[in-house]
Chains A and B, each alone.
Chain A
């Protein structure tokens, strides 16, 4: 399924992430997953939260550069070969993955995928 992901531009400075965590915490918004892409100067924080639009509004008030993007959220069993099967379907469909991240707990796993073509990606996963 498609979900909303927040992306936030951050300079590499001490305390930036802790400030964002505090702002969202105080607003009662829960983080489900996040990942950071970084280079020596800046990073891009990508977040999955309980209320993406409200989180965006609040973070903008604090002058953060926030964007909301649609990403594909794939639920699959936490067992060997499950991810390979899904990736295979995406590759076969000719979809390119810009980036992805995943987490697992118990018997399930969740994969967040940012493909170059959302519809094709969802289609490929559904038909498998």
Chain B
């Protein structure tokens, strides 16, 4: 189903005209209302009237996460604080978080794009949706909440944690949709199984997963364990939160709401715009936001875009799965390793649970790379030879894909931490001086 056919299925020429007029407006808005933007444009020798077509966007300077931190908390607002009705912040693990302000109009945009997502997942006003993203400064909970209310569905505002109770209410209330991080969904699947309540007593049908990168293999795992269809919801706090993009019933790429968020793919090293289909860093310009519009914001997410029309009828651009964040890439013994590569192999192996922890350290100037995995119950053996053989098999599978030899550590069942929000799957103990 399609929430807003006019916008989601618009022919691409009309869409481009719309994007152009919106881009011009937002550039004027930041230039005249936001000191740091005006300064940057002046330094680049640009005035708003230089921007007329979408091609002109390359004249505008990039914004980075660091720029947002440098202007903590409110210096990048393009609306007076009297117009700002909501604040959210990203989970800054180090130092100050990144703060985003929303006007009433921004919240309406957020609800609109969120409604497109949940409609595309096949949910509607007759459906009960359990929202198990954290509520609070994190955009996940309130973002999904507004989206489900907008389509007229019934929200169970669970937030994360208290997993046994989550299962009880999911059962008793007859939740049809579940929105949470994929790693928490895995944990819920375990606890659901432990509860002993037969699956057929649950009405759960649709999973709405996001806020961390996940793989196609993880989708298979989640769909099988929970007996649902699992869909990606994409979003970033800086852009608006969940709702920047969504999958449709074809599960063949994430549609971006590009009438609000204009995407580009650039070379992460040079910043040069790359042709359609190239792998590169995703960059967004929010062309309708008022509170804190971002011009050419570098997401650090690595992906590709395709403008081919989707079988669902939407004309919007589709993004392939996020390969990882540029920041997630590990360089181990000189080799580039993405945690998503490790995840896809671990989810593929029938002997292993889909949980893992990567521990990187440096001992005597040499990188060590430990991968902790849990074996599925049926595959624990009383014979040492079989366990060692399994360990060898995992080592070889990983080595053949990532190119370096990992040190596989088999750990006891359920000993790897089950996350309630964003999973922590990498510990890099190396100290670079």
Contact = CB atoms under 8 A, between A and B. Distances in A.
Interface of A: 5, 7, 9-11, 37, 39, 41-42, 44, 46, 63-65, 67, 69, 98-99, 114
Ordered nearest first, which 6 A-B pairs have the shortest CB separation?
A7-B382, A65-B380, A37-B384, A9-B380, A65-B413, A63-B414
B413 A69 contact: no
B327 interface: no
A45 to B, nearest CB: 9
Contact of A5 (B382, B387, B414): B382
A44 B382 contact: yes
Contacts, number: 48
Interface string B373-401: 00101001111110110000000000000
B222 to A, nearest CB: 22
Contacts of B388: 39
Q: How large is the interface on B (under 10, 10 to 19, 20 to 34, 35 or more residues)?
A: 10 to 19
A69 B387 CA distance: 15
Interface stretch (B99-107, B172-180, B404-412): B404-412
Interface of B: 375, 377, 380-385, 387-388, 409-415
B387 A44 contact: yes
A18 to B, nearest CB: 15
B410 A63 contact: no
A46 B382 contact: yes
Contacts of B412: 9-11, 63-65
B321 to A, nearest CB: 32
A119 B380 CA distance: 23
Nearest to A37: B384
A7 B410 CA distance: 16
26 contacts: A5-B382, A7-B380, A7-B381, A7-B382, A9-B387, A9-B410, A10-B412, A11-B410, A37-B384, A42-B410, A44-B381, A44-B382, A44-B383, A44-B384, A44-B387, A46-B382, A63-B414, A64-B412, A65-B375, A65-B412, A67-B382, A98-B383, A98-B385, A99-B383, A114-B382, A114-B383
